[in-house]
């Protein structure tokens, strides 16, 4: 702070730029990190990136019953949801502290 209690704008801008760079770096790491989710005791496994992009789906042949495609569809949805839940937890771990830090800057209330 400079005399008179006014914040040093240059310092605030530098701090905001660093946080923005850290945030962008964390987002890139999330996009490159894969997490898994499964359903039906492992009969269906989904892989998503930390940013939530579906990258893979593995279906055990035991899960395939031509007479009951609804159960297979439910297992797929559950596996993808589980993987996305894991991705959201990863996002919170990586981005949460950065977002909280940004909330301390005037005008950047996250």
What band does 60 get if pLDDT is binned at 50, 70 and 90? very high
Burial (CB count within 10 angstroms: exposed 0-12, middle 13-18, buried 19+), residue 74? middle
CATH of segment(s) 34-86: 3.30.1310.10
What is the number of other CB atoms lying within 10 angstroms of the CB of residue 86? 18
Question: Could you tell me if residue 19 is left (phi over 0), alpha (psi between -120 and 50 degrees) or otherwise beta?
Answer: alpha
Query: What is the value of pTM for the model shown?
Result: 0.70
For 61-71, write each residue's pLDDT tens digit. 999 999 999 99
What band does 35 get if pLDDT is binned at 50, 70 and 90? very high
DSSP H or E segment with residue 47: strand 44-49
Q: What is the mean pLDDT of residues 19-43?
A: 90
């Amino acid at each position: 702070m400079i005399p008179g209690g006014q914040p040093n704008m240059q310092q605030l801008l530098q701090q905001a730029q660093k946080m923005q760079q850290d945030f962008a770096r964390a987002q890139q790491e999330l996009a490159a990190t894969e997490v898994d989710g499964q359903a039906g005791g492992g009969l269906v496994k989904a892989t998503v990136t930390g940013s939530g992009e579906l990258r893979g789906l593995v279906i055990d042949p035991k899960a395939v019953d031509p007479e009951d495609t609804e159960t297979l569809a439910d297992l797929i949805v559950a596996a993808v949801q589980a993987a996305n839940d894991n991705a959201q937890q990863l996002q919170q771990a990586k981005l949460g502290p950065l977002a909280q830090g940004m909330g301390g800057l005037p005008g950047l209330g996250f």
